[in-house]
Structures are given as C-alpha cells and as structure tokens.
C-alpha cells in the first residue's frame, strides 16, 4: 500500500517559502525583486514580467487584483511559487489568455488556486496571471514575493488528464509518470483480451502522495464514463469478465500534493482463477448445494463472494476452508425478508472459518465469504467445504 506522509505535506510549504525568501532578497548575487507596474488591475493592463526571476507585489487596497504577463518559450508547465505571504492575505493565482481586440476580456485556463500552482502549456506564447486575496477583503503593504517559472515537459504521456485523452498502456510494461500540477489526473487505456484481473501497481512514489487509482469504461460517442471500481490505494485490482477496453485513472488522494519527480506504475493482467466470478452481489450469486467443495479466491482487496443455496428451517450450515492463504476468511448468511427482494437481510453474525451458521426459516439463503477487514487479498484459490 502507498503510505501517506503527513509530515512531508507540512514541511514542503515551509521549505519552499524559505527558499524563495532567500532568493528574493538578492542573496548570493540574486537580483532584487522586480516590482510590476501599476495600474494592472485588468488583463489589458497586465505588467510584463520575466520568467524565473524574483518579483514583489502588494495587495493594496482591499480588492486589488494584479495582472502579470509572461512569454512562454514552448510546451511544458507554467509554475507560480510564493515566498512569505502576509498573515491576513489568502493569496490566490489564476491563469488566462488574452482575448485579442478586447482589452478587458480574459479566456480562463485555470481559476483561482493558492500557490504553489501550475498549468500545463502546449504551445509558446503570451500567458497572463492574476493575483489577489481570496476574499478580496484584506490588504497589506508588505511585499509578496513570487517567482514564475517555465518547466520543460517531463511526463511523456501528457496531456492525459481526462478519459477522453487517455494514453495507451501495454500490460506489464512500466509507465513513468508524474502527478503535476496539483489536481492532476493521469488516464491510461488497457486492452483486456478475455476474462482477466487487471491490477495497478506502483513503486518509488514521492512521500507526499497518497496515490489512488480508479477503473472505468468510457463511451467516446456520449462522453460518459462508467466507474467499475472507485478510487482507492495501490495495489488495486479489478475483475474483468470479458474482453474490453478499461480506462485507468491515477491521482493524489486529496489533490493537494504535486511533484516534478516521476515514478513508475505498472498495469498487470492476471489470469482468471475464480470460476464463480463475477459473484460479488446477490444478483450475480453463484448457485451451490450443500456438500459442494468450492474453489474460492479472495481477490482483489474488498472482494466478496456470494453463493445462493436452499436451506430448511432450524438447520445449521457448516463452512470450513482448507489451507487458506494469508488472510482471515469470514462467512455469514443473508436472505431477502420479503418476496419483493428489496435488500438482503443478514441472519447470522460474521464468523471466522470454520463457521457454524444456523437458519431460522426455510428458503433460499445467500452465503457470503470475505476477508474479515476487507483489507487483505490473495491471488490464490483455496477450497471451501459447505456441509
């Protein structure tokens, strides 16, 4: 599992502020910060500033918006970082292009976010940035130190921020990618040829990330995405019952971490090992009989295997596992309380195997097997005897 580093999230902004503050003060030959010319309250009045050079501005008076203009040399990222920010200012930055022939019109690229903040750029040209207090009700005469950088491309799969723009991935081959800027999603497509499990694995993920993955299908005609398995930590897998194209999305769990460091993800196809799948809900339950020996796999994490059988009233069902892998299988009985079949009702407690499960009425029952905390999995089938 990918571990969250709360400490890294706390340290990063402090270290960045210290670094920028030293640079902006002209230490070790660094030029003094430039001051954008006023008035620059509208995009048509934007002050030209240099890339990768310190600048200082003030939010004064309350409601002040400062527009800046930079020349970007080519594709990559436009990144804004801030040093010391006055305590009362909730600094926000937005990005836009200037609508030609209209001095006051902006075409927004990304609306207001707190720095550090960046946008991907696909071409050279003039880009505009706006800086303001988040609620427009604070002001300060203390200069705010900024640095605007252009970063060359470092993720060969970009732009793949949406399922529509997903990059193709070859199963088993490592993908080198980065989660940058904040809020970035990376989407990939995998061709699944037949019944398989599709698993996402990751390594060397930056400590600040809580990397998550989701699996979906995508209809290019309608633009609709159907989620097959929601966001969750890696490793994470999906059972695919037939040949299809699966869209795989990756992101930081809270969307507030970013890094220019790349890391590796692998999308792996695993052979089918559970003939009863898909049987994770009542509607897809596998029919069994007392006396059957089931070959069951608790895979992937969170997998539940549902079986349907008829039992008499006042009976006892015994369920035991032979040589289960390194997890803790549990079993319980469920049934529909009425013929309407609105929702399953649990009739026994969850019991670790071997389990003895009593019945209170005659009729169809649903035997459900899972790992006790739904946090372990094993790519290995094991026998379960139902008596």
Q: What angle do CA 183, 230, 194 make, to 5 degrees?
A: 120
β-sheet bridge partners, residue 107: 97
Quick one: pLDDT at residue 340? 79
Spell out a b/e string for 313-329, using b for 16 or more CB atoms within 10 Å of the CB, else e: eeeebebbbeebbebeb
Three state DSSP letters for 264-322: EEEEEEEECCCCCCCCCCHHHCEECCCCCEEEECCCCCCCEEEEEEEECCCCEEEEEEC
What is the SS3 assignment for 66? strand
Quick one: pLDDT at residue 23? 41
Residue ranges of the chain whose pLDDT lies below 50 = 1-27
Quick one: pLDDT at residue 106? 87
Alpha helices in the chain (DSSP H): 6-24
Quick one: pLDDT at residue 21? 43
pLDDT 10s digits, 314-351: 999 999 999 999 999 999 999 998 877 789 999 999 99
Quick one: pLDDT at residue 102? 67
Quick one: pLDDT at residue 142? 95
Structure token digits, residue 112:
């207001």
- Count the neighbouring beta carbons within 10 Å of the beta carbon of residue 26: 12
Quick one: pLDDT at residue 105? 83
Quick one: pLDDT at residue 150? 98
Query: How far from 106 is each of 43, 63, 154, CA to CA, in Å?
Result: 7, 18, 28
Q: Are 205 and 211 in contact (CB under 8 A)?
A: yes
Query: How far from 39 is each of 4, 53, 68, 95, 334, CA to CA, in Å?
Result: 44, 21, 11, 19, 71
């Amino acid at each position: 599992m990918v571990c969250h580093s709360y400490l890294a999230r706390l340290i990063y902004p402090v270290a960045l502020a210290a670094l920028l503050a030293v640079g902006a003060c002209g230490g070790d030959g660094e030029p003094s910060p430039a001051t954008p010319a006023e008035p620059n309250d509208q995009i048509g009045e934007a002050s030209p500033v240099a890339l990768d050079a310190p600048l200082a501005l003030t939010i004064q008076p309350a409601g002040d918006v400062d527009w800046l203009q930079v020349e970007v040399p080519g594709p990559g990222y436009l990144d804004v970082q801030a040093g010391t920010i006055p305590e009362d200012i909730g600094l926000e930055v937005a990005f836009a292009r200037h609508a030609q022939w209209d001095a006051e019109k902006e075409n927004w690229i990304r609306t207001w976010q707190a720095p550090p903040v960046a946008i991907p750029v696909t071409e050279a040209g003039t880009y505009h940035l706006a800086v303001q207090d988040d609620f427009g009700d604070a002001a300060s005469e203390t200069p705010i130190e900024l640095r605007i950088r252009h970063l060359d491309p470092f993720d060969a799969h970009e732009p793949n921020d949406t399922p529509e723009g997903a990059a193709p991935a070859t199963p088993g081959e490592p993908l080198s990618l980065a989660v940058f800027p904040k809020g970035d999603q990376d989407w990939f497509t995998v061709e699944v040829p037949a019944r398989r499990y599709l698993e996402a694995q990751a390594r060397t993920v930056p400590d600040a990330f809580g990397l998550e993955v989701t699996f979906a299908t995508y209809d290019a005609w309608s633009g609709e995405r159907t989620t097959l398995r929601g966001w969750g930590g890696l490793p994470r897998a999906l059972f695919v019952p037939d040949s299809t194209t699966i869209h795989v999305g990756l992101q930081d769990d809270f969307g507030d971490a970013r890094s220019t460091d790349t890391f590796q993800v692998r999308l792996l196809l695993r052979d089918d090992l559970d003939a009863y799948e898909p049987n994770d809900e009542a509607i897809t339950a596998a029919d069994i009989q007392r006396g059957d020996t089931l070959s069951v796999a608790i895979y992937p994490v969170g997998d539940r295997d549902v079986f349907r059988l008829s039992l008499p009233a006042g009976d006892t069902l015994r369920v035991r596992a032979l040589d289960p892998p390194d997890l803790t299988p549990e079993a319980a009985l469920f049934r529909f309380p009425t013929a309407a079949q609105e929702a399953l009702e649990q009739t026994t407690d969850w019991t670790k195997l071997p389990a003895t499960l009593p019945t209170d009425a005659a009729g169809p029952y649903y035997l459900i097997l899972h790992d006790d905390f739904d946090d372990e999995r094993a790519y290995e089938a094991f026998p379960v005897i139902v008596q």
